[in-house]
Amino acid sequence: MFPLLTVLSMFYYICLQRQARTGTRGEIMNSRQAIESNQRTLPHTVEVEQYVKEIVDFSSHYGSENSMSYTMWNLAGMPNVYPSSGDFTQTAVFRMYGKWWEQCASAPQPFRRTPDRFHSQDYVELAFEDPVYPTSIDILETYHPGAVIRILACSLNPFFQNLPAEVRWEELWSGEPSKMVTLQARQFSPRIKQINFPTNLIRLEVNSSLLEYYAELDAVVLRGVKQRSLLSLYKMPLIDINDLSDSDEEKDAYEAERLHKQCRDTGINEHTNNGYFDKLPYELIQLLLDHVTLPDLCRLAQTCKLLYQHCCDPLQYIQLSLQPYWARVNDSALDHLQSRCTLIQRLNLSWSGNRGAITLAGFCSRFLKVCGSQLVCLELACCHFLNEACLEVIAQMCPNLQELNLSSCDRLHPQAFSHISKLVGLRRLILYRTKIEQTALLSILNFCTDLRHLNLGSCIMIEDYDMIASMISAKSKNLKSLDIWRCKNITEKGITELVSGCRLLEELDLGWCSTLQSSTGCFVHLARHLPKLRKFFVTANRTVCDTDIEELAANCPNLQHLDILGTRMVSPASLRKLLQSCKDLLLLDVSFCSQIDTRVVQELTVQFPKVFIKKSFTQ
């Protein structure tokens, strides 16, 4: 009897060892806590259903900063539209869709080493009332579903003032970008992973590149239990007898020994401690490592001295995107990379460092002090750790900077932006959804005279866009793209000034600029003075008329993207003339154009098949 018990005990001990190799630290800690509190009675696990209480953060939205239409704030509360389908202002809509944005001159160059599995373009973070262990998440999509590709949960309670020592993000679900066959509303309920901490902060990441129009989200439902039963903590996967086979490490060792024997038998026996990599030219190994992602590069550095030397070579870090790893980027990560990034020229820290992960000392005092001198491109979208001191250090430590992205850094104080004027070599400046004021912007335009791409979309603190347009015309003669999406005070005077000095403009976004009136002749004047125009957005300007379209057809032969959503005064005849003249046209949005019905769109699509003609609808 006793020998049998001994054998069974040893068998179970081995199984536990196998399982421990795959168990997470959190599961082990939870199991330990459960054992220490084994006198408790089993808690009652009742599933709680919650709608979003508050929108904590987001990267972009179609709507305005001072209204509710098409904004992320529509995700709060119960559904407004579902189960109806169509284009509704009461939903949440991100700023981009499709692949055509990447074709524009203003699109940034992609970063090397971006992992193939990283597809996220936008995000929104949602706070719920009570922390729960999630059991399911429902996302109510009402128009062009399929944008959501990743769902994460955070250990932080967003309603607590004090930050914990550690903020953890856990992926609940992820998928590939997709395109739904139907446009009908749907409830998206992916199977989510169980996590070992309660959460009331959920993050959705989206990719709309395969969608034919803007995706619209109506509400998000979080279901979960406030307490997990002790039985769930003790749940153990069934033991497979195959787990008792040789470990992967033992198999790898055996294969390595077998390969070594084969090489020795064939006469290849000259080697060093670095293996046969010593026989390869240094440059060849460097080229091979160009295709390795950053985490794999760090792992590879631990294999041997030779590869450590290659993996730490600053030439491997000329450009570096940390955006795919935003949840893990902190001061320690920057300190670790500092010695490798002494030659870095392009750095993407977008979405990173929030909630205390990156500090002023870590980013400015240490990292930029060593690595900033060669930087020409710095992507800092949604980096809420930034403050005025950070921008001052960037201006001092990065004298060669040509591209700066501060998109959705909406917590920066207005006076912080004045330091940007010291970066006189800037060519691309993204200030979308920031609180920059007129004085700081005028200073930037006065000193940064080589700007090629300027994004001022949804910058609501600027009081006089006519004055800004006049300064751009005088100082930015080489400007190729200008985005003043949802500017509320530019007039025909500003447009006349702008086009008189910026003849090289290829992209101009005047979407939702309600103060512009076609009757003043501003659009005709614009078309006649911008022959290189490729992208022109006059979204939601109801005064655009046939004369404006005909002038574009006559003077802008390179036009590729045109958005005239919402106009009542454009006829099918003028559109046909435009399509015949502009042979490169790829995108034409005529949604809510009252004279352009579905039948006209179908006829034009047949006649001009390479043009994507968009016609939104409301059910």
- Token code pair at residue 152: 């994460």
Q: How far is Cα 571 from Cα 600, in angstroms, rounded to an integer?
A: 10
pLDDT tens by residue, 604-613:
999 999 999 9
Q: What is the pLDDT of residue 63?
A: 96
| Per-residue pLDDT band at 236 (split at 50, 70, 90) | very low
Percentage of the chain modeled with pLDDT above 70: 85
The residue-averaged pLDDT of 142-160 equals: 97
CB-neighbour burial class of residue 4 (10 A; exposed 0-12, middle 13-18, buried 19+): exposed
Which residues pair with residue 561 across a beta bridge?
535, 587
Q: How far is Cα 29 from Cα 37, in angstroms, rounded to an integer?
A: 12
- Token code pair at residue 143: 């128009």
The residue-averaged pLDDT of 228-232 equals: 62
Residue 494 neighbours by CB under 8 Å, 6+ apart = 465, 466, 467, 468, 469, 470
Residue 125 neighbours by CB under 8 Å, 6+ apart = 55, 56, 57, 58, 154, 158, 201, 202, 203
Residue 260 neighbours by CB under 8 Å, 6+ apart = none
pLDDT tens by residue, 174-223:
999 998 888 889 999 999 999 999 999 999 999 999 999 999 999 999 99
Query: Are the C-beta atoms of residues 483 and 432 closer than 8 Å to each other?
Result: yes
Query: Are the C-beta atoms of residues 185 and 145 closer than 8 Å to each other?
Result: yes
The residue-averaged pLDDT of 102-120 equals: 93
| pLDDT surpasses 90 at 356 | yes
| Per-residue pLDDT band at 70 (split at 50, 70, 90) | very high
Q: Is 74 helix (H, G, I), strand (E, B) or coil?
A: helix
The residue-averaged pLDDT of 225-231 equals: 76
| pLDDT surpasses 80 at 274 | no
| Per-residue pLDDT band at 513 (split at 50, 70, 90) | very high
Q: What is the pLDDT of residue 239?
A: 39
| Per-residue pLDDT band at 246 (split at 50, 70, 90) | very low
The dihedral region occupied by 592, where left means phi > 0, alpha psi between -120 and 50, and beta the remainder, is left
pLDDT tens by residue, 409-435:
999 999 999 999 999 999 999 999 999
| pLDDT surpasses 70 at 450 | yes
Query: Which is higher by pLDDT, 269 or 451?
Result: 451
| pLDDT surpasses 60 at 273 | yes
Residue 36 neighbours by CB under 8 Å, 6+ apart = none
Query: Are the C-beta atoms of residues 424 and 448 closer than 8 Å to each other?
Result: yes
The residue with tokens 């709507």 is 63
| Per-residue pLDDT band at 619 (split at 50, 70, 90) | low
Reduced 3-state DSSP string for 156-186: CCCCCCCCCCCCCEEEEEECCCCCCCCCCCE
pLDDT tens by residue, 379-404:
999 999 999 999 999 999 999 999 99
Read out DSSP for 78-104?
A: S-SSTT--B--TTSEE-S--SSGGGGS
| pLDDT surpasses 60 at 23 | no
- Token code pair at residue 213: 């129009």
Strands 561-563 and 535-537: parallel
Q: What is the pLDDT of residue 3?
A: 46
Main-chain dihedrals φ then ψ at residue 502, nearest 5 degrees: -110, 65
| Per-residue pLDDT band at 261 (split at 50, 70, 90) | low
Query: Are the C-beta atoms of residues 542 and 517 closer than 8 Å to each other?
Result: no
Query: Which is higher by pLDDT, 13 or 344?
Result: 344
Q: How far is Cα 168 from Cα 374, in angstroms, rounded to an integer?
A: 33
- In the chain, helix, strand, coil percent, each to 5? 35, 20, 50
Report the first-to-last Cα separation within the chain, whole angstroms. Answer: 75
- Token code pair at residue 408: 């959705």
Tell me the one-letter amino acid at 186: R
Q: Model-level pTM?
A: 0.87
Among the listed residues 604, 619, 592, 587, the one whose alpha carbon sits nearest the alpha carbon of residue 512: 592
Percentage of the chain modeled with pLDDT above 90: 79
Main-chain dihedrals φ then ψ at residue 92, nearest 5 degrees: -95, 130
Tell me the one-letter amino acid at 149: I
Query: Are the C-beta atoms of residues 507 and 483 closer than 8 Å to each other?
Result: yes
Strands 535-537 and 319-321: unpaired
The residue-averaged pLDDT of 296-307 equals: 90
Tell me the one-letter amino acid at 13: Y
Among the listed residues 83, 111, 84, 110, the one whose alpha carbon sits nearest the alpha carbon of residue 99: 110
Query: Are the C-beta atoms of residues 476 and 428 closer than 8 Å to each other?
Result: no
Tell me the one-letter amino acid at 326: W
| pLDDT surpasses 70 at 485 | yes
- Token code pair at residue 23: 């168990």
Show the CA angle centred on residue 75, arms to residues 69 and 76, nearest 5°. 110
Q: How many residues does the chain have?
A: 619
Q: What is the pLDDT of residue 179?
A: 87
Tell me the one-letter amino acid at 383: C
| pLDDT surpasses 80 at 10 | no
Among the listed residues 416, 353, 417, the one whose alpha carbon sits nearest the alpha carbon of residue 380: 353
Show the CA angle centred on residue 63, arms to residues 58 and 66, nearest 5°. 90
Q: What is the pLDDT of residue 45?
A: 73
| Per-residue pLDDT band at 55 (split at 50, 70, 90) | very high
| pLDDT surpasses 70 at 230 | no
Which of 298-307, 446-455, 532-541 is least confident?
298-307
Q: Average pLDDT over the chain, rounded to whole?
A: 89
pLDDT tens by residue, 560-583:
999 999 999 999 999 999 999 999
Among the listed residues 313, 273, 275, 276, the one whose alpha carbon sits nearest the alpha carbon of residue 292: 313
The residue with tokens 């399509």 is 579
Q: How far is Cα 306 from Cα 274, in angstroms, rounded to an integer?
A: 6
| pLDDT surpasses 70 at 14 | no
Q: What is the pLDDT of residue 196?
A: 94
| pLDDT surpasses 80 at 49 | yes
CB atoms within 10 A of CB 416: 22
Determine the angle formed by the axes of helices 522-529 and 546-555, rounding to 10 degrees. 10
pLDDT tens by residue, 316-334:
999 999 999 999 999 999 9
Among the listed residues 372, 374, 417, the one whose alpha carbon sits nearest the alpha carbon of residue 394: 372
Q: How far is Cα 300 from Cα 321, in angstroms, rounded to an integer?
A: 18
